Structure 1
Amino acid sequence: MFKKILLPTDGSPLSCQAANAGIIFARSVGAEVVALHVTQPFAATIGFDGMAAAYAITDEDYEKAAAEQSAKYLKHISDRAETADVKVTTRSVSNFNVADGIVQAAADEHCDLIFIGSHGRNGLSRLLLGSVTVKVLSLSRVATLVFHVKE
């Protein structure tokens, strides 16, 4: 049924837990996975919290650090998939809106499922913090499986 599954990660232990579950699921259905990390462009940090001005970070420094961080997150998932004998490709994209980046990557990679973790927040914390997963659910035209991670 599912042939290509997108596994977005933000590098957190909770998203790694969801990615591991996604790899197990992919193996059980004979699918391949695409590990994805979405970074936000340097311009998104300017004015948001004054990071660039406060730390004198250049856009080149930011992009380099973001690429290194992304590679680290994706390697973790790639290694895990290879250990499980699941075909894996990795992709890092930049988008002002992380949910848009996930949905666009799923379309670009011709994925037929997005396997994404959720912290399971509700109430005020969900309202204040927002939820990339909820935004993906509202934007995606691809089947989306929400894995509720254990704290």
Structure 2
Amino acid sequence: MFNKIMIPTDGSELSTAAALEGVAFAADNHSEVIGVYVAPEYQYPVYVEIIPPTYPIEEEYDALMRKVGMEYLQPVQKAAQEAGVQFSSLILFSNSAGAAIAEAAQEQNCDLIFMGSHGRSGLGQLLLGSVTTKVLNLCQIPVLVHHITKKK
């Protein structure tokens, strides 16, 4: 039913658990998976005329965030390999993760976005996490929201 499923993660425990469930769902449906991590855009220091020597330059920040993204996507990739699911990864830069996910899913011709109800923001939101809510509001394809409670 679904040929290509986008599975975003922010590297948090809840997001990773949901992503792993997404891989199992993809395996059951014989679907391809695109794992996605959205890093915040580079921010120049505010009210500073020159960049301090200890502040990373944009290229260093970009490389670091790509490395972090690949580390966060590694468990998802491993689960996909073990399940025999075709996997590719995508690192995006945006200050609006929800909008970036919705746009990327459309650009990648995904049939479904499988994501957790909460990620880094945790369970503090009343109903859904802010990124999940944004994706639901912006997306033109189905979004499967998987709810995982934090293990004690």
**Structure 2-normalised TM-score?**
0.84
Paired residue for 1:84?
83
3-state SS of paired residue (1:5): strand
Deviation of 1:66 (Å)? 0.5
After superposition, the C-alpha distances for 1:113-134 in whole angstroms (9 at most, x for unaligned) are: 0001013977xx427x961001
The question of whether the paired residues in 1 share the 8 Å contact of 2:7 and 2:114 is answered with yes
> Who is 1:117 aligned against?
116
Question: Which residue of structure 1 aligns with residue 71 of structure 2?
Answer: 72
Match of 1:100 in 2: 99
- 1 CA distance for matches of 2:125 and 2:132? 11
RMSD: 2.3
User: Higher helix share goes to which structure?
Assistant: 1
Alignment of 1:20-31 (within 5 A): 20-31=20-31
Map Cα deviations across residues 70-118 of structure 1 (whole Å, 9 max, x no partner): 1111222111101111111111111221011101110111001000101
* Count of residue pairs the alignment pairs up: 142
**Match in the other structure for 2:37:** 37
Question: What is the distance in 1 between the residues matched to 2:45 and 2:145?
Answer: 32
Work out the CA distance in 2 between the residues paired with 1:145 and 1:46. 38
- Tell me the alpha carbon deviations over residues 53-84 of structure 1, each in whole angstroms, 9 at most, x when there is no partner: 6x623223221211110111122211110111
For residues 16 and 89 of structure 1, the distance between their equivalents in structure 2, rounded to whole angstroms, comes to: 16
SS at match of 2:106: helix
> Aligned partners of 1:68, 1:58: CA distance in 2, in Å?
16
- List runs of 5+ in structure 1 lacking aligned partners: none
Label 1:46 to 1:112 Cα distance change in 2 as closer, same or farther (>3 A). farther
Q: Is the partner of 1:92 in helix, strand or coil?
A: strand
TM-score w.r.t. the length of structure 1 is 0.84
Q: Which residue of 1 aligns with 2:138?
A: 139
Between the aligned partners of 2:144 and 2:10, the Cα distance in structure 1 is 17
Equivalent residue number for residue 59 of structure 2: 60
In structure 2, list runs of 5 or more residues that go unmatched.
none
Which amino acid in the other structure matches residue 142 of structure 1?
Answer: I
Partner residue, 1:19? 19
